[in-house]
Structure 1
């Protein structure tokens, strides 16, 4: 029996904010992957007019902001994260006027707009890199990037042993103007994505102008891609550890010379000051994939960024003790610097959580690696757990990120033909790594429309499965028990009861696989066990599945919210 009143574990350590409360502290931010959200011109690729037309649906869902993944000019060798012009719109997505229309539509519906910024690297097509290739070694142009002479008798070896995230060396040798093999340039990702040199004054000034350009067009903030990688260790020393900087035997992540260098924080202090010159409510969110959470919290110290993604929560398995540990650690680490925690279950880089939670062998999926068709899965169990995970996440204090389609319960698409895949993880590994295409398939809007309402032509840059029909938004909107209805109800209740700005007090239970906590006037009980558990609180405010609470018991793999207005402070 779970009895909230007399037995609590005491509050999780949560520092009160040290600055004036901003909208981002408890915001619900919806991520749009533009290529796969909505297609306004019917060419099979999502675009800005499509986004603008669907803004009312986002407002109806109850989100506070929309985050747009890259829509800039790009050769699309890495899904737009290879930018060739930071102050324009790729024609495949529309025009600057179309972008302005998105901002106008969003603001008219009370939704803020955050845009992706990719400052660690650009496309090799970018004018600055092309100028560097044409310039001589030691020139100002090459100083914008990491050009180095090679090692070996004739410079035939890379300058160090760093490896690319996508496989192979993190260095590529260029051919100089006279035709001879020349210097090498650094790329932590694809060779078509050269890393900027953030020790260079010209690079810092360039991105000051980029920020100003988009702030002048009304954006409300920036999600900063690979925020922990901009500054490299002096001398670019060898590193025998993992390419992604995660800890491995003999190589602790905090020693990785390409990540989490002290100088990176000066960049964000400079940016914070610049954003505040445009007003007090423009924000920065860090994609800083470092561990432990105390390291990630460094990005949201006063005078730096406002939010940082919570990768520890994203990667947590469906296990009660691990989830409680991550929640405690998150609230303590971020709260310790006066910042809100963020919570996220899926994004454009990971297998969708409805499929991760369906894995029968319990193996967790590594970032970007994906899983193959034929992997043992229980889709019904995955869907049930995904709904429970959403109910748990939306009750937590802090900010919530929702990836497009998760509010529909979309699973990963596993059976994409090899010749249709586009992800560089898949292409550069010759198919050894499945990659991220399965979470980027265009989402369904109408069950009986061409391309399930993605457009009116039926074209789709990645193939949509026939199962998309049952997940379509129009079908779910008419069903009070659907995943869409669950999300809509949860977000509305979260806002009404101010759960995002609340605090968390754990409630002790007799079941090791059950989590229970109070946030404000809400008792949240999450049953992660394989059997029903007795609950003694009512009335029920929300259930992750219909009839989750029956005859005083909460069903397995289910979450319920109960109203407890008399809970002591």
Structure 2
């Protein structure tokens, strides 16, 4: 089979490849370092293209690789239509797209439209131009409060902590919803809207298949005077008219984007990162007239619990049917504690952020607070359940190796602004899930590159290195490879039917072709009876599914 045919035959309908895709998120600076400078880069991804093919994924999603001062791990973008020179060149990017496409792997890139870097040429022009200039209209500048304007315009707090306003030399203040190095763009400005359409075409013309939209719910804002206080904002409903979040008019932006996506054959895809209040609000981002798909993050804040999983699965499949989209499943990403760690900690009743689990690990030490074996076993079970669900599944680099969160990072080694600015929702910040991958059991950076890695790797990474796991048929990597291979063979229509098990801690469902998934969230074995003979993935002991594990049943479905 030729490379071109391979790309086209991965899915029954090429334009709908994304609906049940297995997408692998690459955090480029921590994936593979080809030039030995400590940062992962685009040539490093090319060097591992065979690994990605052998894993069996349908697409990769690249976190930002654009020129950036790394004030927020690359989410402070200085130029939306170039590659950070530390990570490579546009030619390197083209080589990567070709290498992945040749292996039947599509490419999704991150777009960060709410804010730019303060080093972006527009913001530098705004600083130089001064008060009342046209250049400042592309951002959100305001006069300060108080008799001399020396106080911020409002008492709003940024997501990473501290004031959401930063003062510039001439006395005005600009809005930054995240770090001060990330000034918010003004999406009422026609030049901002037009420039992002140019950016979408730029990457689509280079062969990019889709886009992940960072904080898609925050672009448009109503900043009519007088600006409300934090207390006043908290009293306002999130009904599409909130001044700052999830406004109905943001979908005018995405309708424009959809028209650009549809200029291509097949149409480019998009998925929204939209933290919104209800499934109905999220559905607006997943509409066919808009981005087409939106992340559901419900499992990121759920315990390893059968009732929670079933409710979340049922609700999101119902929502997908309403929108005509497909849902997304995700257990780990670059912003949250790795699920192998979350599931090895005691449930945190009423927790408001998944990072609290890392605080436990750091405070008591992994040996005191974290059951690594239990966490990994549950992570395997949850992942196998997700890969059996209709919809697309997003995997985060390193989870296929069974990596835990890295808590052993000193304050002087951390990089995340959420840590330094004291953002409560992030606890110790997000560096622990962004540590560079171990490719070999030896070497100064476990094969990540020729020198030290930009974040410290713990010694226990050696046992999870790719060269160790790929030769071990019982490893996490072997499990992922086999699960993704079988998933491709067994994939069927986007529906499921629950099968009652008689136990509240055991979930069982069937896909339309007879493929079944059974997950035992409890501790007591669950007897499969005669179905045990048809298990194709997972382990049965004396005809039963052990606690904290998942099996796949495929009667007569495999050749």
Q: Distance between the aligned counterparts of 1:289 and 1:73, measured in 2?
A: 26
- State the match for 1:344 in structure 2: 330
In structure 1, distance between residues paired with 2:222 and 2:155? 14
Q: Structure 1 residues 310-319 or 63-72, which shifts more?
A: 310-319
**Displacement, 1:539?**
3.0
> Is 1:553 the counterpart of 2:520 in the alignment?
no
Cα RMSD over matched residues?
Answer: 2.1
Corresponding residue to 2:184 among 188, 195, 214: 195
**Bigger shift: residues 145-154 or 361-370:** 361-370
From 277, 282, 298, the equivalent of 2:263 is 277
Structure 1 contact 314–343 (Cα < 8 Å) conserved:
no
- How does 1:110-121 map onto structure 2 within 5 Å? 110-121=104-115
Q: Which consecutive unaligned segments of at least 5 residues does structure 1 have?
A: 1-18, 177-181
Matches of 2:327 and 2:533, distance apart in 1: 29
Do residues 154 (structure 1) and 140 (structure 2) align?
A: no
Distance 2:99 2:479 in 1: 25
After superposition, where does 1:373-412 map in structure 2 within 5 Å? 373=362, 374=364, 376-412=369-405
| 1:539–1:563 contact (8 Å) kept in structure 2 | no
**Is the contact between residue 368 and residue 425 of structure 1 (CA under 8 Å) also seen in structure 2?**
no
Does residue 35 of structure 1 match 2:35? no
Classify the secondary structure of the residue corresponding to 2:509: strand
| 2:459 maps to 1:466 | yes
Per-residue CA deviations over 1:108-165 (Å, capped at 9, x if unaligned) read: 1111111111010011111101111122323211110111122222223322232100
1:439 Cα deviation after fit: 0.2
SS at match of 1:59: helix
Q: 2:174 — aligned with what? A: 185
Query: Which of residues 224, 238, 243 is equivalent to 2:228?
Result: 238
8 Å CA contact 2:31–2:40 kept in 1: the answer is: yes
**Offset of residue 444 of structure 1:** 1.0
User: Distance between the aligned counterparts of 1:442 and 1:397, measured in 2?
Assistant: 31
User: 1: CA distance between counterparts of 2:156 and 2:121?
Assistant: 26
Tell me: CA distance 1:239–1:512, structure 2 relative to 1, closer, same or farther (3 Å): farther
1:317 aligns with 2:303: yes
SS at match of 1:560: strand
- Give the secondary structure class of the aligned counterpart of 1:58: helix
After superposition, the C-alpha distances for 1:538-561 in whole angstroms (9 at most, x for unaligned) are 3344444xx3x1122211001111
Q: How far, CA to CA, are the matches of 1:279 and 1:96 in structure 2? A: 23
Residue of structure 1 equivalent to 2:316: 330
Q: Within the alignment, does 1:509 sit opposite 2:498 as a pair?
A: no
For 2:398 and 2:277, locate their aligned partners in 1 and report how far apart those are by CA, in whole Å: 28
> Following the alignment from structure 1 to structure 2, what is the Cα–Cα distance between the partners of residues 105 and 439?
27
Of 198, 202, 226 in structure 2, the residue corresponding to residue 209 of structure 1 is 198
Q: Structure 1 residues 69, 430: CA separation in 2 closer, same or farther (over 3 Å shift)? A: closer
Distance 1:223 1:80 in 2: 14
2:99 & 2:167 partners in 1: Cα distance? Answer: 46
SS in 1 for 2:418: helix
Per-residue deviation, residues 178-219 of structure 1 (Å, max 9, x unmatched): xxxx22111000011000000100101111111121112111
> Is residue 15–residue 266 contact of structure 2 (8 Å, CA) maintained in 1?
no
Q: How many residues are paired up?
A: 533
SS at match of 1:531: coil
Pairing of 1:392-471 with structure 2 (within 5 A): 392-429=385-422, 433-455=427-449, 457-471=450-464
Q: Distance in 2 between matches of 1:494 and 1:195?
A: 41
Q: Match for residue 366 of structure 1?
A: 353
For 1:429 and 1:100, locate their aligned partners in 2 and report how far apart those are by CA, in whole Å: 39
What SS does structure 1 have at the residue aligned with 2:508?
A: strand
Note the C-alpha offset of 1:476: 1.2
Task: Say whether 1:75 aligns with 2:69.
Answer: yes
CA deviation after TM superposition for structure 1 residue 451, in Å: 1.6
What is aligned with 1:9? Answer: none
Tell me the distance in 2 between the aligned counterparts of 1:25 and 1:208: 24
Deviation of the 1:387 alpha carbon: 0.4
Instruction: List alignment gaps of at least 5 residues for structure 2.
Output: 1-12
Q: Distance in 1 between matches of 2:415 and 2:527?
A: 48
Matches within 5 A, 1:128-143: 128-143=122-137
* CA shift for structure 1 position 491: 1.1
1:389-426 per-position Cα deviation (integer Å, ceiling 9, x unaligned): 11100000000100000011100011112211111111
* Helix, strand or coil at the partner of 1:538: helix
Match of 1:263 in 2: 249
Could you tell me whether the CA contact under 8 Å between 2:405 and 2:432 is conserved in 1? yes
- The residue number in structure 2 matching 1:353 is 339
Q: 1:535 aligns with which of 523, 528, 539?
A: 528
Indicate whether 1:480 and 2:473 are aligned: yes
Following superposition of structure 1 onto structure 2, how do residues 217-236 of structure 1 map, counting pairs within 5 Å?
217-235=206-224
Distance 1:334 1:361, change over 3 A: closer
What's the offset of the Cα at 1:241? 6.2
1:522–1:565 Cα contact (<8 Å) kept:
no
Cα offset for 1:430?
Answer: 9.4
Contact 2:537/2:553, CA 8 A, preserved across alignment: no
Distance in 2 (CA, whole Å) between partners of 1:233 and 1:200 is 13
CA distance in 2: counterparts of 1:155 and 1:192, whole angstroms: 21
Aligned-residue offset at 1:100: 0.9
**Aligned-partner Cα distance in 2 for 1:297–1:411:** 33
1:518 CA drift (Å): 0.5
